């Protein structure tokens, strides 16, 4: 697969993940504020599915990266490995800065379905951290595709 195609594919996957993070964050913040959000329940359910799939893949890939940050991840595209490395590095530098980093990805994924207010707050905080990482990765893909305009 060409570099341009990998960047384009990564750009689109990251965009879809950002959309999911934003939809679930908005839905959960409305619930935390005591407002019903029945109109977005289906969107939130789909967003959970997308985010959970990402976290499941990350949970499988992280042990390899944490043992050897230069190790290739079998079956993972180069840009997916770059995102996993970015996550691993941020997590190692500030593990207590966010629930996304302080919990294993599969434990953070459990928060996606929580009905507890404190856990929902933790999830929103972790999703904000994930959004920041994804935006950095998305920007790098944009620059790779379009150059530094």
Question: At residue 131, does pLDDT exceed 70?
Answer: yes
pTM as predicted: 0.82
Distance separating alpha carbons of residues 144 and 55, to the nearest angstrom: 25
Cβ partners under 8 Å of residue 111, min gap 6: 99, 103, 119, 120, 122, 123, 126
Question: At residue 25, does pLDDT exceed 60?
Answer: yes
- The confidence score (pLDDT) of residue 92 equals 85
Strands (E) in 95-144, as ranges, are: none
The domain tally of the chain equals 1
For residue range 71-126, list pLDDT tens digits in order. Answer: 555 545 676 777 788 888 888 888 889 999 999 999 999 999 999 999 999 999 99
Domain residues for the domain of 23 are 3-146
Q: Give me the chain's average pLDDT, please.
A: 83
Q: What is the mean pLDDT of residues 125-133?
A: 94
């Amino acid at each position: 697969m060409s570099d341009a195609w990998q960047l384009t594919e990564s750009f689109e996957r990251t965009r879809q993940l950002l959309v999911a993070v934003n939809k679930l964050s908005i839905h959960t913040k409305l619930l935390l504020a005591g407002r019903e959000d029945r109109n977005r329940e289906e969107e939130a359910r789909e967003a959970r599915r997308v985010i959970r799939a990402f976290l499941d893949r990350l949970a499988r890939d992280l042990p390899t990266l944490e043992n050897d940050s230069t190790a290739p991840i079998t079956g993972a595209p180069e840009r997916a490995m770059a995102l996993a490395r970015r996550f691993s590095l941020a997590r190692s530098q500030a593990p207590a800065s966010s629930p996304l980093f302080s919990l294993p990805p599969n434990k953070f994924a459990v928060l996606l379905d929580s009905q507890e207010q404190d856990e929902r707050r933790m999830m929103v905080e972790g999703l904000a951290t994930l959004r920041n990482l994804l935006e950095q990765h998305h920007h790098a893909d944009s620059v790779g595709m379009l150059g530094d305009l």
